[in-house]
Chain A
Amino acid sequence: MKVFIVPPNSLILFDLVERYGHEPLSLMGAIHEKVINPEIESPPMNVTPEDVKKGLKYAGIEVPSGIRGRLALWGPLVDQADAAIIMDEAPFEFGCVGCHRTDEMVRYYIKKRKIPYIVVRYPNNESEAKVMVAKIKEFLEGLK
């Protein structure tokens, strides 16, 4: 099954989803499709005006274009997802820093889609890490 991860660029979540037999939907995969396209040249232009229009499906016109641009990449991933894993209470440098509103809207969209999801806490010590991995494993095995 396809599992969306939040933050969508997380190595830990990507690896755990794959390790326990599912397909992670990540930001890197979406970016890969963009950057190998020869028509797009430089990093600031990775998001095109077309993408921002696509983002309108996920956020209203009054929402800043940066959020819509991000949602144009993240939104279709949530659309494809059969389940989601959300990492919560993480330090600020963990995840896609720079736009908390996008993060909030993605969480809202996951809940709105009514797909199964789990919220795990960022581990600060060994016992919390064991709990996090056990919860993710149990959730992913339950999806089969």
Chain B
Amino acid sequence: MDKEFETRMIVISPSSSVTPDQVTRLVHSLGMEITVKETCYGAMIEGSKEDVHKALAAVRNLDPDRIFTKVRGFPIGDARRCRAHHGSRPGFTQLEKEWECLRLVDKGVTASACGEKVCEVPRPNKLPVKKLREIVDEVSK
């Protein structure tokens, strides 16, 4: 396979109203030499780097703050990863976790684009051992 090929995952934030079907249809309508696969989280696209980047720019326009993308190591349909070939899917827990978090991150991206001022709220400290001992003593009385 050509090294200039790139495979990208397009992940739609849960808070977006864009559907994977819309993304797939848009990429098809661009008429580029790109392979597209619709997935539950968005789509995967594969082609020359130039075409993939052009397609990504078009896809991002659908909902700029709520469509995220990253490179994928394995090509689309690779027998070592594709579920149709009973491939293993070791990256799925990571993707699932990040997909859940995207509904928060997209708010951050929007706030950042609007120039909203943010201030850091300190997290509560961990429970000290002394306090835990007091609770245990109280409960076990």
Number of interface residues of A (CB under 8 A): 43
In the docked arrangement, what's the CA distance between A99 and B77, Å? 28
Identify the stretch in A58-66, A109-117, A119-127 within 8 Å (CB) of chain B at 4 or more residues.
A119-127
Q: Cβ of A79 < 8 Å from any Cβ of B?
A: no
* Pairwise interchain contact A125-B7, C-beta atoms closer than 8 A: no
* Pairwise interchain contact B88-A43, C-beta atoms closer than 8 A: yes
Tell me whether chain B's interface is mostly helix, strand or loop, or mixed. Answer: mixed
**Which of B97, B105, B112 is the one whose CB lies under 8 Å from A123?**
B105
When A127-B121, A132-B108 are in contact, do A26 and B70 touch as well, CB less than 8 Å? yes
Q: Cβ of A50 < 8 Å from any Cβ of B?
A: no
In the docked arrangement, what's the CA distance between A136 and B20, Å? 28
In the docked arrangement, what's the CA distance between A41 and B120, Å? 48
In the docked arrangement, what's the CA distance between A16 and B98, Å? 13
* Pairwise interchain contact A11-B70, C-beta atoms closer than 8 A: yes
Q: Give the interface of B toward A (CB within 8 A).
A: 1, 3, 5-7, 9, 11, 68-75, 78, 80-81, 88, 91, 93-98, 101-102, 104-105, 107-109, 111-112, 116, 118-121, 123
Q: Cβ of A10 < 8 Å from any Cβ of B?
A: yes
How close is A90's CB to chain B, nearest CB, in angstroms? Answer: 8
Contacts of A93 in B (CB 8 A): 93-94, 96-97
In the docked arrangement, what's the CA distance between A46 and B97, Å? 25
Q: Cβ of A130 < 8 Å from any Cβ of B?
A: yes
In the docked arrangement, what's the CA distance between A97 and B92, Å? 11
Tell me whether chain A's interface is mostly helix, strand or loop, or mixed. Answer: helix
How close is B34's CB to chain A, nearest CB, in angstroms? Answer: 17
In the docked arrangement, what's the CA distance between A128 and B91, Å? 25
**Which of B3, B107, B108, B112 is the one whose CB lies under 8 Å from A33?**
B3
Given contacts A15-B68, A42-B80, A134-B108, 13 further A-B contacts (CB under 8 A): A9-B94, A11-B68, A15-B69, A19-B109, A35-B78, A91-B97, A94-B94, A94-B98, A97-B93, A123-B105, A123-B108, A130-B107, A132-B105
**Which of B1, B81, B112, B116 is the one whose CB lies under 8 Å from A36?**
B1
Contacts of B109 in A (CB 8 A): 16, 19, 133
